[in-house]
A and B are shown apart, each in its own frame.
Chain A
Amino acid sequence: MSVFLPRRPPANLKFLYPSFAGLVPLTARRHESSARRTTKRLRTKPDPSFTSSIPESQLNDHIVFNPPSSAPSPYHTPPVFLPPNDPRRQLLVQSYRHANPYEQPERRLPPTIKNHKPYEKKYHLREKEIEEIRRLRTEDPYTWSRAKLAEKYGCSPFFVGMIAPNEGKKAEELKKVEQVKEGWGRRRRYAREDRAKRREMWGRDE
């Protein structure tokens, strides 16, 4: 047998009653009941870490140290960074709790950030190729950009910029950027400046 329990008590469904029923102050009762329920719900027990070890008599006479789970402290040196003669190195290896969990064969490393490609330096370019890169870049810096040359010769764009810098093109590009920036309004400019400031805060760890 199924019992039908209405979600709302019939007293709340005003439209079912004749119009004079609205004069009856039903709302007062409703408030009282919801307040009681809310209070009951809010009366949660404190976390056991706050109270469990403290006797009742000293409950108001102690310091609670219950820090939230947070980023690791910068004062904690990772085991790889410890010098070889540091005694902590041996202790960490022997410890069950603090040993590196990824050393276990069944434990896989977490996924890398999607577009990350490990880059290996090849050191394969000789004097001849470097001369060629310089020539191409001076002849037509717009066709032979750093990225294109890097792709062609299998090196990094940074390396191309290092061996064949093109100050003229850089200055022109900067001028173009400045022109674009002058066209910005107040809001966009402020937003960009704020973004740069936030980026600086990452380096300060703020």
Chain B
Amino acid sequence: MKALRLLRRSGSVLSPRTRPCCFIHQTQYRNPLPLNIFRLQSTAPAQYQSAIEREDDLEPGETEPTEDFFHNAPTQEERESILSQLPSPHPQHAHKSARLSALHARLMLPPRLPLETLARCLVDPSADIDPHFNNSSLSILGYDLLGLYTSEAVLCRHPRLPTEVMFAAMWAYCGPKTLAAITREWGVEVAAAPGGEVDPGYLQCKHIEAGNASVEGTGVQVKDLPILATDPKGKPMLGEPGWRRGVSSRTVKSDHFGDEIKRTVLDYAERPELRQEDLQRKLEKGVTLETASTNFVRALMGAVYLHAGKKAAYNFFKAHILSRHLDFSKLFEFRQPTRDLSRLCAREGFESPVARILSETGRKSRSPVFVVGVFAGKDKLGEGSGSSLDEARIRAAVGALKGWYLYSPLEVNVPSQAERGGNWEPVMVDGGEVVV
């Protein structure tokens, strides 16, 4: 077997993983099972025993299995019954799955990422509650890596983006919907039900009961809607569910997408049993396909980082996440663009903006067109057209604001890719969005 060079932190991923049910089998069958009781990763060599079907390619040093072994070896039926008792496929089966190898090849994953880990990435916590066998730990790492790489890529390339737009861009690049779409694009299929006998190339998760309709036209599920308070004034109060926090609070206390974190690290630190309770609930209720797909992509990101290192992880991120096209200019929505623009000009020391008619046609007709430019002194800030002067003026202000916010420096070095000892040019940090 090819020796893999492993990074220091990947030890916990690759250590021999056992579970109590494995020991039950051990007492049941005295002789070694065709499946290893200890579910091993490819790099933990100690307890590997060659399976029966590998007899042909025995190496000279290896001893042939004894007569006694064949005599007491479990039958096909027994083997299947053992397998079906496992909640997720045996790691050793990873090498027998054509799907898994195909996925590994199709994604051009680094060869240092073993198939066993890829198989583990496909096991959702709702399928297998044991953290040694599911992808929960890897997906936490992958979530943080995706957040770091995406945020620095977006923010260094567009240093003036407002926070709300930044959240929207993060959601578009590595939000659950995108990651679920990526899973479909990679050709990963979902097992109908998880279990030990399933091909490890399938995504294993317990499906949630159907019947949670989505709100028409939004793509948001009914259960995800914020609960509106029954306050007569209609506004939920501080701390109540549905209370909308400010942007600055969300940058500190929320996840990468500006959404509320239901369980924080502090919650788990105060009540450690909460973590187990949450997992148990997930195991009973199941998860949506979107959640399972999201966890898979995140886990794969974490696995690539652990096995192949920082550079490979960044290349993987560039190839699959950053390569997706996102039109930032569509993420903006202005309520009072003219007011914002005049505040911006006052803040930056430009002359106050004036709307000027660049050209027009059919003023007295049914469908006139006006082209209006916003000028600060002699410099044109933006241009817009519309069927009324007001519309053209407001569109011109929107264009000017977008021109400001979408500024992108020519050459960008993101901090995570800075080389040690190399010349580091700090990225641009902007004064922030316009606050009125």
Instruction: List residues 7-46 of chain A with CB under 8 A from any CB of chain B.
Output: none
Name which of A53-61, A106-114, A125-133 contacts chain B. Answer: A106-114
The yes or no answer to B116 lying at the interface (CB within 8 A) is: no
Provided the pairs A203-B333, A204-B332 are in contact, do residues A76 and B352 lie with their beta carbons within 8 angstroms? no
Number of A interface residues at 8 Å Cβ cutoff, please give it.
30
Residue of A71, A80, A110 most packed against chain B (CB within 10 A): A80
A111 adjacent to B404 (CB under 8 Å):
no
A103 adjacent to B335 (CB under 8 Å):
no
The complex places the Cα of A180 from the Cα of B241 at a distance, in Å, of: 35
| Closest chain B residue to A102, Cβ basis | B378
Instruction: List residues 53-84 of chain A with CB under 8 A from any CB of chain B.
Output: 71-72, 74-83
| Closest chain B residue to A103, Cβ basis | B378
B337 adjacent to A74 (CB under 8 Å):
no
Min CB gap A62→B, angstroms:
23
Min CB gap A192→B, angstroms:
16
Min CB gap B378→A, angstroms:
4
B329 adjacent to A205 (CB under 8 Å):
yes
The yes or no answer to B143 lying at the interface (CB within 8 A) is: no
B379 adjacent to A205 (CB under 8 Å):
no
| Closest chain A residue to B354, Cβ basis | A112
Prevailing SS type, chain B contact patch: mixed
Prevailing SS type, chain A contact patch: loop
The complex places the Cα of A116 from the Cα of B352 at a distance, in Å, of: 12
B384 adjacent to A203 (CB under 8 Å):
no
The yes or no answer to A182 lying at the interface (CB within 8 A) is: no
Provided the pairs A202-B394, A203-B334 are in contact, do residues A72 and B329 lie with their beta carbons within 8 angstroms? no
B378 adjacent to A205 (CB under 8 Å):
no
Provided the pairs A80-B381, A110-B358, A202-B386 are in contact, do residues A75 and B398 lie with their beta carbons within 8 angstroms? no
B355 adjacent to A116 (CB under 8 Å):
yes
The yes or no answer to A178 lying at the interface (CB within 8 A) is: no
Min CB gap B328→A, angstroms:
8
The complex places the Cα of A158 from the Cα of B356 at a distance, in Å, of: 24
B383 adjacent to A72 (CB under 8 Å):
yes
A112 adjacent to B355 (CB under 8 Å):
yes
B383 adjacent to A71 (CB under 8 Å):
yes
The yes or no answer to B403 lying at the interface (CB within 8 A) is: yes
B406 adjacent to A118 (CB under 8 Å):
no
The yes or no answer to A87 lying at the interface (CB within 8 A) is: yes
Residues of A within 8 Å of B395, CB to CB, are 202, 205
B355 adjacent to A79 (CB under 8 Å):
no
Provided the pairs A78-B379, A78-B381, A113-B393 are in contact, do residues A202 and B407 lie with their beta carbons within 8 angstroms? no
Q: Which of B332, B398, B406, B428 contacts A83 (CB 8 A)?
A: B428
A contact residues vs B (CB 8 Å cutoff): 71-72, 74-83, 86-88, 100, 102-103, 109-113, 116, 118, 200, 202-205
18 extra A-B contacts, CB within 8 A, seeds A72-B399, A113-B355, A205-B332:
A71-B383, A74-B402, A74-B403, A77-B403, A82-B407, A83-B428, A100-B378, A102-B378, A103-B378, A109-B378, A110-B373, A111-B356, A111-B357, A116-B355, A202-B394, A202-B398, A203-B335, A205-B399
CB pairs A–B below 8 angstroms (6 shown):
A74-B399, A78-B382, A88-B410, A102-B380, A110-B357, A203-B398
